Amino acid sequence: LIIMDLINRDEKVIAGIEKIRFFPVAPIGGDGCYIIEENGRRLLDFAGSWGAAGLGYSHPAITEAISQASKGMASVSLLSYASEPAIALAEELISIVPGNIPRKVWFGHSGSDANDMVVRLLEAATGRRRFISFYGAYHGGVSGSMSVSGHSSQTHSPKREGVVYLSYPNPYRSELEDNSPENILKKLDELFNTTCPPKEVAAVFIEPIQSDGGVIVPPSGFMKSLEKKCREHGILIVVDEVKVGLGRSGLMHAFEHDGLTPDIITFGKALGGGLPLSAVVGPAEIMDFAPAFSIMTASGNPVSVSAGRTVLKTIHNENLISNANIVGKSLQEGFRQLANKHELIGDVRGRGLAIGIELVKNRHKEKKAAKLETAKIVYRAYELGLIIFYVGMESNVLELTPPLIMNENESKLGLEILNQAFTDVSNGLVPDSVIEKYKGW
């Protein structure tokens, strides 16, 4: 199916014995919503490199921005110099965040370092050492951000002492007592009155859509009720927009769906247009708590931030928020129609172009996670020409985070491929052996 040279070389020199791979793809290029693998085959991309390719691949505006920025770099660091591109992007990020309190911006390289910085900053600035997070939360892959995450993929990482984990309310699993919004809020009250005095809690970390936990959309009103309880005790609201922000949900910010008023927002992935870039936007008095609180030499470098400025401009110029709404609704409707044909599809959910398809066995009874079948469908879709990944605490949720530029014809093609993949897996045409070497998520 492919020329294996890059795969073989990768296995010899790239660290991580069990890399998170789903199939043997080795891209050598990209074009719009397609990636091109080693043998020249074009693959439609429903994953967008985990959402980082928000404008797809080789977008001419990003290419031009990178080229121009690289030609006249005055420096590559914000540590000792003022940088016009970084200042301009900071101004633009502040301008798109609701509210008018004085804010400042910190730049990093990924959502992981952004959330890590927030953990350490808030502990120091507030004097409070505890945080509230959720089971299934994924806030990054470095020590600080991992310490407030609750995802099953990070069992190898020690958790931060004193972090309180709540269940993330899941309407599809509403029959479970722990998934009831009322019971979750009641549990928080009990914790505040017993083992977790609220005066010890610095902040709550919120994913407005729990992405890697299964693309779970919280029920209406829950997040606002949680915010109200935290406000009563001076607990700050941190919203992680890394994967679902910047237009993906059908609004500029995913937290706007829930009417949240965050104190601090973290951005990453799509912000860089494919380059390493993250940002934290927060109150000036907190962000300026101490000089050089979190410094990295190349953060805010002019090439990455110039790409970031172009991402924001392109989202506006090409009406990509509206496109996310239109194409996202079309995709969700398409999957609901597929559910009439394929018993494995238990739930279709999402906002805009952040969509989750939960695959289960016996969907009218116990709704048992269809882990093996999910992996096979992802693999078969790749064979048929579609890139899609799976997420979830039980690895049974197909995740769609395609480029925001995806059109309806491309989305329909992807649905056709997935329809065939479901059919082939259900007919036993995909053996267990083909997925044995792939770790997945």
Catalytic residue ranges: 138
Handedness of CA 142, 143, 147, 151 (dihedral sign): positive
Q: How many angstroms separate the CA atoms of 18 and 329, rounded?
A: 36
CA angle at residue 272 from 281 to 283, to 5 degrees? 5
CB atoms within 10 A of CB 76: 16
- Burial label for 315, CB within 10 Å (0-12, 13-18, 19+), is buried
Q: Is beta strand 130-134 parallel, antiparallel or unpaired with respect to 164-166?
A: parallel
Q: How many Å separate Cα 225 from the centre of its chain?
A: 23
Q: How many angstroms separate the CA atoms of 197 and 219, rounded?
A: 27
Which tokens is 132 given? 């509230």
CA nearest neighbour of 323 among 110, 98, 56, 91? 56
Amino acid identity for residue 415 in this structure: L
Element (H, E) at 166: strand 164-166
CA nearest neighbour of 32 among 274, 243, 194, 258? 274
**Buried b / exposed e along 261-296 (16+ C-beta atoms within 10 A):** ebbbbbbbbbbbbbbbbbbbbbbeebbeeeeeebeb
Handedness of CA 372, 378, 380, 383 (dihedral sign): negative
Which tokens is 53 given? 């390719």
